[in-house]
Each structure stands twice: as C-alpha cells, then as structure tokens.
Amino acid sequence: MACVRATSWRWSVLSAVDDRHRRQVAFGPFGSEGQAALAAATVAVVGCGATGGAAAELLTRAGAGRLILIDRDIVALDNLHRQVLFDEEDAREGRPKAVAAGEHLRRVSSAIRLTVEATHLDASNVDRILDNVSIVLDGTDNISTRFLLNDWCFETGVPWVYVGAVGGEGMLLPIVPPRGPCLRCFLPEPPPPGSLATCDTAGVLGPIPTAMGAMAAIEAMKILAGASQPEARKLRTIDFWDWRVRDIALPPRADCPACALGERDFLHDERSTRVIELCGRDTHQILPPPGPRLDLEALADRLDAESDHLLVNRLFLRLDLGAERLTVFADGRALIEGAGNADRARAFYDRYVGT
Ligand SMILES: [Zn+2]
C-alpha cells in the first residue's frame, strides 16, 4: 500500500512539472535533470534523411529545446521507403528536406524551436550554422562532411554522434571531445572515392536507418544528461539481417591526427568540391564558389522559355526538362537530377545557370 501511495505522489508531482514527458522523466537514470538538460539543449541534425530524420523526430518528441535542421537535398520518391519525415506530396513537389522536416516536426511539437538550413554544410559556413549547439548528430551520407564534423567538434569541444546505415548494417560511435576515440582514430584518412559501400551500390533495408537514428537519439540523450560513460563509447556495428553485433573498443590513438595531434585539416581546407554525387539516385550537387546570392526571379525570367514546368519561390527555382530536372537555391547551389554523370551535371548547370 505504501508503494501505491508513493507512486501516486510521484506521478502527481511529475504531472505538474511536465505532463507530456512524465513517462520519460519517470525513468530514473534520466529523470527530471536529464529532461531539463534536454530542454535546454540545441541539437544540430546534419542531414535530415533516414537516420537524421528519425533522430530529429524522436528528440523532438523527447523534449529537445531547439533543433537545427541542416540538409542540402530535396525529397524524392525513392527516399520514402526509409525517410520517415516525408510523404508523397513532399516527393511530388521535390521539397527541400530541411524545409519539409521542419514543417513535419512543427506538427509534432509546437514548443520546439526550429532553425532550418537548406544548404550544404562545409568549412565556409560550419561556424555560423553550428554556433552554440550542444551536440551534433550525424545524418549525412558522405565521409567528407563527417571529417569536417569531427574536426569542428574537437576544435569547439562539442560532442557528436557518428551514425551510418547501408545494406543490412548500421554503425554508431558517440564521440565526446576532448577525449577520444574519435572518427579519425578508426579512419585516419578519408578512403578514396568509390571505395566505400553506399546506398547506391549496396542498397539499404528501409527500417535500418530509423533503428540507427533511434540509437543516435538515445546516445544524445545520455550525453546531454551527463550519463554517457567513456568506456561505453565504442564503435558498434550491427548486422540486422544476420543479427550480428560487433563492438570495437579502440583506445584513443596516440597518433590520431584529430584528437591527439590537434590537426584540423578539414576545418581549414578551403577547397570546395564542385560536383558531388548524392547517395541514392542519379542526382548531382553543384557547389559554386562563395559569391553573391542569386536573384531567382531574374533567373526564372531568363529560363521561362526553356520549359512549361518552371517553379520559383523565395527558396528555390525548379526547371523540369523531362528526363532532367534542375533545382537552384539562392546561394547558387544546384541539384541536377537525371544528368547521368558529374560532367553532364556540370554542363547542365553551366548551360542553364552559368558560372
Ligand atoms: Zn582520434
């Protein structure tokens, strides 16, 4: 009976504090202190596709105070088997993922503060976009952005969670500077292009990125609550198809370029990738050198005769030419769908946007 009274009292107090999250607060190891830390946190989600989108939604529901949603891509039909924030209308309209993710999450919680960055994160904008974040979640699909995040997080002391999913596998590594291990303890240099499995070459089983995004959200909550144990920060690889779990508990490398030697090659590297093939379909991203913002309305006037399918708003311009589709953002960045290869994508950009 005493136990019942104690439980009732506890629930009534929790209800007064935060009815929405009371079942989470009731989990002792997280508790009201963890909830308060989460509510005070700003979480950057770099890449709002399958893993990042799942983590973003779960942290929104869990009560994160603020999310920064960063994504350079647009929603396509072949995203929908795994990217849970988007629907057919988003794909039909080819909406920027960061924008569509923000609108979805706004319907989940009116309390959360959202910042939408429909852009490519690189060395030139990382300080501005990640200013004052509490933690960074990796939802990217490429290794170069992960090396940038690793350098930036060790430079600033912000924790980050590396997470990936490809084929039937997922992998996860929570990283908490200044202590290693970090990404470069495991992978000192980026592998050559084309040498890693991608969701283009190996495919990806739809539910796996969501499972990995959930694990990333849990790790973020532990880190923010001060409950992440250094000895538990291992590279965990899960083969979901054959149910094999592998933990690699690597001690921090004494010769790690990032966490031991303090090199920040990827943070200060001003070279920009001009054309990037996006994971998952025939889409290339064109990144012009930094310059003045595009006048999208003026560009729309120039392109008006090219197609009956021209759409322009303050965020982007879309030109549909049948097999190929061009989406240009105000910062000059563009996505070319259907070009077939990087050179054709570059030519397509030069032809319609100009460099
Ligand atoms: Zn390291």
Mean pLDDT rounded to a whole number for the chain: 88
What is the predicted ipTM? 0.99
Q: Which pLDDT score, from 0 to 100, does residue 142 have?
A: 80
Separation of 153 CA from ligand 1 center, angstroms?
11
160-166, strands of its sheet edge to edge: 113-117, 66-70, 42-46, 135-138, 160-166, 169-175, 235-239, 244-248
pLDDT tens digits for 117-126? 998 898 889 9
| C-alpha to C-alpha distance for 338 and 247, rounded to whole angstroms | 40
Q: What is residue 351's predicted lDDT score, i.e. its pLDDT?
A: 75
Q: Give residue 122's pLDDT.
A: 86
| pLDDT, position 14 | 47
Strands 169-175 and 235-239: antiparallel
All structural domains of the chain, each given as residue ranges with its CATH number in brackets, are: 21-268 (3.40.50.720), 275-352 (3.30.310)
Task: Decide: 57 and 67 in contact? Cβ < 8 Å.
Answer: no
Distance 176 CA to ligand 1 centre (A): 11
Q: 67 C-alpha to center of ligand 1: Å?
A: 27
Q: What is the pLDDT of residue 1?
A: 37
Residue 163: per-residue pLDDT? 97
pLDDT value at residue 134: 98
Q: Given this model, what pLDDT does residue 323 score?
A: 85
User: CA-to-CA distance for 133 and 216, rounded, in angstroms?
Assistant: 16
CB 144 within 8 A of CB 266: yes
52 CA to centre of ligand 1 in angstroms: 23
Return the pLDDT at 16. Answer: 43
Model pLDDT, residue 76: 87
Cα–Cα distances in angstroms (integers) from residue 176 to residues 59, 159, 220, 251, in the given order: 19, 4, 10, 13
Q: How far is the CA of 343 from the centre of ligand 1 (A)?
A: 36
Q: Residue 163 Cα, ligand 1 centroid: separation in angstroms?
A: 16
Compute, in angstroms, the gap from residue 254 CA to the centroid of ligand 1: 8
For residues 350 and 326, what is the distance between their CA atoms, to the nearest angstrom? 11
Tens-digit pLDDT profile for residues 274-309? 688 887 678 999 887 666 788 888 888 888 877 778
> Which mean pLDDT values do the consecutive 10-residue runs of the chain (355 residues) have?
45 58 96 97 97 98 98 90 97 93 97 93 93 97 88 97 95 95 91 59 88 98 95 93 93 93 83 69 81 82 81 89 89 89 76 72
